[in-house]
């Protein structure tokens, strides 16, 4: 039997090409092309079928579950699951990318593209490791890679899988961080609404506000649109603007104001710069006067309450436990013709009871002065660190990296919250920058090879249990 490093080297070039093949398919949730045959849109279905065709060609047994999800399986015995997703978040402004997000170009030993880190790269790493195991070892377990197309929105794919398919005795998801994740914070997404009525004659009118493409991304761009005496508004804004504010006439009829921030995954919200929070601070300047006046005064209040570092404290929900603290992100805002909507993504501590957190929502309603509705609520996840399967994953990580391996807790939400006896295992290394949901998302090919090696060792360990 060849050693693990040699085996990985033999399969590595194909793994890179398999990954490029998936990245080149735009698999965002697309409501415009969604129908009964393509529940999450044509791109997601295409990506799922591309992966299943790949696995079928490589000798796996495959099944497509109504284009919601699918799986590739090998072996016999107790079923071990690998949970990964093929859908991606929107790429955002293409101009913010060094290389096209769906071209899968390789530069400086990195492959660039939406999904390289979350979650197509880790999926192909785990798939390649399983193919090596299948081709070179006697299988004592059944291994099933379960892939879905709706992880980034509401996980309807995995819910559909569980309606008709077998539940593994244990699963891991390559969709978070190493060494392994045995705790995931609770997640609640809320929608807040309010009408701001125009009072009549207003020399300068705020016509629209907008930011964000997904609630679980800190928005890096935010826009405001003004009509009326826009020449005066432009002069006033230019007097207070910094380098992070762009002000210009829009189609000669409106003034468009753009604030720039820094996008990160909402689970790391304090590490990003929310462009709308920044825009609020500019629009709250006391020298500015515009209508609707009720909206202007609300923006001034929000400029104090909403910020990247102390948002939860200002809202009275700054809870924490030994595993981490609450984070909150306003990922979407839309205002037009009086109607204003905000969408918040909140990750709360592992040990906090869901009912207790829901009882705190009136604090947010009171502070932000808007009607509140829960759009999604997923309770926290915790798996005991003495779990025998978890220990084998940690042993695999230690044996490949020569590093101590202890489980961690994260603010992200993975398929593990919806599948019993599951933990996340990689694929981000502790020292690496978080690239998921950001422009210029990429996978270092050296790391890619190491990830495959770790997953292969983990599968060998699980196979021998």
Task: Supply the residues annotated as catalytic.
Answer: 87, 151
Q: How many residues does the chain have?
A: 465
Q: Which of 182, 267, 276, 300 is nearest to 438 (CA)?
A: 267
Question: Other C-beta atoms within 10 Å of 429: how many?
Answer: 18
CB-side neighbour CA atoms (13 Å) of 99: 17
CA distance 59 to 54: 9
Instruction: Give ∠ CA 457-83-150 in degrees, rounded to 5.
Output: 150
Decide if 82 contacts 143 (C-beta within 8 A): yes
Q: Where are the alpha helices (DSSP H) in 30-167?
A: 42-57, 120-136, 156-164
Q: Where are the alpha helices (DSSP H) in 187-341?
A: 230-240, 275-283, 293-305, 311-314
CA distance 378 to 421: 16
Decide if 459 contacts 133 (C-beta within 8 A): yes
CA distance 302 to 298: 6
Q: Got the DSSP string for 11-48?
A: HHHHHHHHHHHHHTS--B--GGG--SSSTT-HHHHHHH
């Amino acid at each position: 039997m060849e050693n693990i490093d040699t085996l990985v080297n033999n399969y590595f070039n194909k793994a890179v090409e398999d990954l490029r093949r998936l990245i080149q398919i735009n698999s965002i949730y697309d409501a415009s092309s969604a129908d009964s045959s393509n529940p999450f849109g044509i791109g997601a279905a295409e990506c799922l079928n591309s992966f299943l065709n790949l696995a079928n060609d490589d000798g796996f047994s495959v099944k497509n579950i109504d284009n919601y999800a699918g799986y590739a399986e090998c072996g016999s015995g107790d079923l071990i699951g690998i949970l990964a997703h093929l859908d991606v978040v929107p790429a955002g402004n293409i101009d913010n990318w060094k290389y096209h997000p769906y071209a899968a170009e390789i530069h400086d030993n990195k492959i660039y593209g939406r999904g390289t880190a979350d979650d197509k790269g880790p999926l192909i790493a785990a798939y390649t490791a399983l193919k090596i195991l299948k081709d070179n070892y006697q299988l004592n377990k059944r291994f099933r890679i379960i892939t879905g197309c709706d992880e980034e929105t509401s996980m309807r794919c995995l819910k559909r899988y569980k309606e008709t398919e077998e539940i593994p005795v244990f699963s891991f998801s390559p969709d978070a961080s190493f060494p392994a994740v045995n705790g995931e914070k609770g997640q609640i997404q809320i929608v807040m609404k309010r009408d701001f009525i125009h009072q009549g004659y207003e020399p300068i009118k705020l016509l629209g506000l907008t930011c964000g493409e997904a609630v679980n991304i800190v928005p890096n761009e935010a826009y405001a649109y003004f009509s009326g005496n826009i020449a005066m508004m432009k002069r006033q804004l230019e007097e207070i603007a910094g380098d992070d504010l762009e002000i210009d006439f829009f189609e000669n009829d409106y003034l468009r104001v753009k604030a720039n921030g820094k996008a990160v995954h909402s689970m790391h919200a304090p590490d990003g710069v929310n462009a709308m929070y920044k825009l609020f601070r500019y629009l709250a300047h006391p020298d500015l006067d515009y209508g609707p006046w009720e909206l202007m005064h609300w923006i001034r209040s929000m400029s104090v309450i909403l910020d990247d570092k102390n948002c939860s404290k200002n809202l009275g929900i700054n809870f924490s436990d030994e595993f981490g603290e609450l984070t909150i992100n306003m990922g979407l805002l839309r205002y037009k013709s009086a109607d204003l909507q905000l969408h918040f993504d909140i990750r709360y501590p592992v040990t906090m009871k869901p009912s207790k957190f829901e009882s705190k929502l009136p604090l947010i309603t009171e502070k932000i002065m808007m009607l509140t509705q829960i759009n999604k609520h997923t309770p926290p996840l915790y798996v005991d660190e003495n779990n025998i399967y978890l220990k084998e994953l940690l042993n695999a990580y230690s044996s490949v990296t020569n590093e101590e391996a202890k489980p961690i807790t994260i603010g992200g939400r993975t398929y593990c919250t919806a599948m019993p006896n599951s933990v996340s295992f990689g694929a981000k290394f502790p020292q690496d920058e978080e690239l998921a949901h950001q422009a210029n998302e990429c996978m270092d090919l050296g790391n890619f090879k190491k990830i495959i090696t770790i997953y292969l060792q983990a599968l060998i360990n699980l196979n021998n249990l």
